[in-house]
Every structure is written in structure tokens, then in C-alpha cells.
Structure 1
Amino acid sequence: MFRYCPSCASQNIRFERNRVFRCPDCGFTYYHTTAAATGCVISVGKTIMLLVRAKEPARGKLDLPGGFVDPGEGALDGLRRECREEIGWDPPEDPVLFASFPNTYPYKNITYNTCDLFFTVRAPLLRREDLRPEPKEIADIRFIEPGLVDLDELAFESTRRAVTAFIKYQTGQF
């Protein structure tokens, strides 16, 4: 991530313990810590909404609405913002947290470690016409019964784990 120290430009910068950059010349320290991210399983009747990613990473794969939590934002606020940005829809009730998993998100030659928080919300009257997908982010929207989701088509390991956990959550096996 750094070839030179951002503080003194030294080439001696070191990456230690897979999380901290240190410069022995000036004492600069940068912790490359975990970022918070959200995802939402939106239940529409017997189906859940899945998005087809329009950009990398995992372009063309299925994903849940959600994304990174911005600085100064709580997880629920970040989830609502991401839903508005990605699909033009704001959950009518507060989504319920049901699972959390670690994940990695490779983007522009940097792999971000994330803590993904997964929520669920029921939207029985939601129709495709109610949504305004952002074309740069979302290539398509699909409604699939949870048990019929091909886990190999999901974009991220944490999303696969979340859909599996949601099925257990739904059936009371969680």
C-alpha cells in the first residue's frame, strides 16, 4: 500500500503483523484496520432480493444491497444510505441484525479487511417498479427463493455465509 513513508518519504517503511505500517526513520504509524460494511436480506414474499454487480470486484455476481459504512455513520444509517444509493429504496422499518462475518474486499490493488454486518427486513409489497437501481453499481435485480440461491454465484464469502445464516434464521434453526 505504501512504498514510501507518507510523512518523511523514507523507503524504509515496513508492514508489520498484516495490519500496521511503521517508519523507523520518523516514527510514522498507520493501522490498516478493519472497515465496517453492511448487507441487507430484503424478503419480498417467499423470495429475497439479490443484485447483480455492475462493477468490480465480482462483476456479474450476485450480492445483497449494502456497502461500506462511512466515517461518522452508524451501521444502520450506512445500510439505509447504501439502499438509497444502490436501489433508490429506503427500508420502511428498521432492519434487524441477524449475523456478522469477516470478509475481504479487493479494490484497486488493496485488500480491505471488513467486518460485514447483515440485516434483514420484510417488504412484502415491494415491486421491481418501486426500485431505481444505480446502473454504474447494479446490472440487474433478481428475486429468488432463498433455498434456490446458487451460493457459488454470490460475490463474497461473507454473503454466502449470510444467505446460509438467513435460511437458518428464517426456519428458527439459528
Structure 2
Amino acid sequence: MFKFCPSCGSQNIQFENNKKFHCPDCGFSYYHNTAAATGCVVSTGEEIILLVRAKDPAKGKLDLPGGFVDPGEGAFEGLRRECREELGWDPGPNFTLFASFPNIYPYKNITYNTCDLFFTITVPGLKPGDFKLEEKEIGGIRFVKPGDIKPEDLAFDSTRRAIKAYLEYNTIRGK
């Protein structure tokens, strides 16, 4: 990420423990902290919504609605904003957190470590026409029975783990 120290210009900048840039010449430190991201299993009661990614990473693969939490936002706020941006739809505040997993998100030669928080909400009667997709980010929408999802079709490891956790979560709840 850094070839030169942003403070003094030294070429001695070091990346320590996969989290901190440090310059031994001037003492500059920058922590490349984990970013928060959200995903949501939006269920109709029978099917869940999966989005087709329109850009890399994992272009063409399936993903859940959601994305990075912006500075100054909480996870719920970030998830609602992402649903409005990606789907043109505000799901309201009634999410349930059911899982969290670490993830790796490679973007433009920078690897971001993320902490992905997964929520669920059930909204009976949803149809594809209820959404206005952000075409730059979303290549399509699919309504899929959760048990029919193939893990290899999903964009990220954390999403694969979240779908598995969702299936277990609903089994425990008797759904």
C-alpha cells in the first residue's frame, strides 16, 4: 500500500504483523484496521434474495444485499443505506443479527480484512418488481430457496458461511 512513508518520504516503511505500517525513520504509524461490512438475508418466507455482482471482485457471482459500513454509521444504518442504494428499497429497522465472520476483500491491489455482520429480515410478498437495482453494482436479482444455493456460486467465503449459518439458524427456530 505504501512504498514511501507518507510523513517523511523514507523508503524504509514497513508493514508489521499484517496490520500496521511503521516508519522507523520518523515514527509514523498507520493501522490498516479491519473494515466493517454487512450482508442481509432478505426472505419472503419461502425464498431469499441473492444479487448478481456487476463488478469485481467476484463479478458474476452471487451475493447478499449489503456492503461496507461508512464512517459515522452503525451496522444497521449502513445496511439500510446499502439496501436503498443497491435495491432502491428500504427494509426498515427490523433486522436480526444472526452471524459474523471475517472476510478478505481484494480491491485495486489492496487487500481489506473485513468483519462481516450478517442480518436477516422476512418480508412476505416481495417480488423482483419491488426493486430498482443499481446497475453499476448489481447485475441482476434472483429469488432462491435457501437449500438450493450452491456454495460455489457465492462471491465470498463469509457469504458461504453466512448461508450455512442461516440454514442452521432457521433449523433451530423450527422454520
Same fold (TM over 0.5): yes
Cα distance, 1:92 vs structure 2: 3.4
Cα distance, 1:121 vs structure 2: 0.2
AA aligned opposite 1:71 = P
3-state SS in 1 of match to 2:136: coil
Superposed structure 1 runs of 4+ greater than 6 Å apart: none
AA aligned opposite 1:122 = T
- Contact 1:103–1:115 under 8 Å retained in 2: yes
Aligned to 2:17: 17
Separation in 1, partners of 2:53, 2:155: 8
AA aligned opposite 1:116 = D
AA aligned opposite 1:154 = L
Aligned to 1:38: 38
Separation in 1, partners of 2:93, 2:103: 27
TM-score by length of 2: 0.97
- Contact 2:80–2:92 under 8 Å retained in 1: no
Separation in 2, partners of 1:154, 1:116: 15
AA aligned opposite 1:161 = R
Separation in 2, partners of 1:21, 1:134: 36
Aligned to 1:102: 102
Separation in 2, partners of 1:118, 1:86: 17
Aligned to 1:29: 29
Separation in 2, partners of 1:5, 1:92: 44
1:135 aligns with 2:135: yes
The C-alpha deviation readout for 1:7-38, integer Å capped at 9, x for no partner, is: 11110100011110000111110001100000
Aligned residue pairs, count = 174
1:1-174 to structure 2, matched below 5 A, reads 1-172=1-172
- Contact 1:95–1:120 under 8 Å retained in 2: yes
Separation in 1, partners of 2:5, 2:125: 54
Separation in 1, partners of 2:168, 2:24: 50
Separation in 2, partners of 1:28, 1:9: 11
Give me the CA root mean square deviation: 1.2
AA aligned opposite 2:85 = E
Separation in 2, partners of 1:89, 1:173: 27
The unaligned stretches of length 5 or more in structure 2 are none
Separation in 2, partners of 1:39, 1:128: 19
- Contact 2:50–2:143 under 8 Å retained in 1: yes
3-state SS in 2 of match to 1:171: helix
Separation in 2, partners of 1:93, 1:25: 49
Cα distance, 1:94 vs structure 2: 1.5
AA aligned opposite 1:106 = P
- Contact 1:93–1:121 under 8 Å retained in 2: no
Separation in 1, partners of 2:172, 2:92: 24
Cα distance, 1:126 vs structure 2: 1.3
Separation in 1, partners of 2:91, 2:134: 17
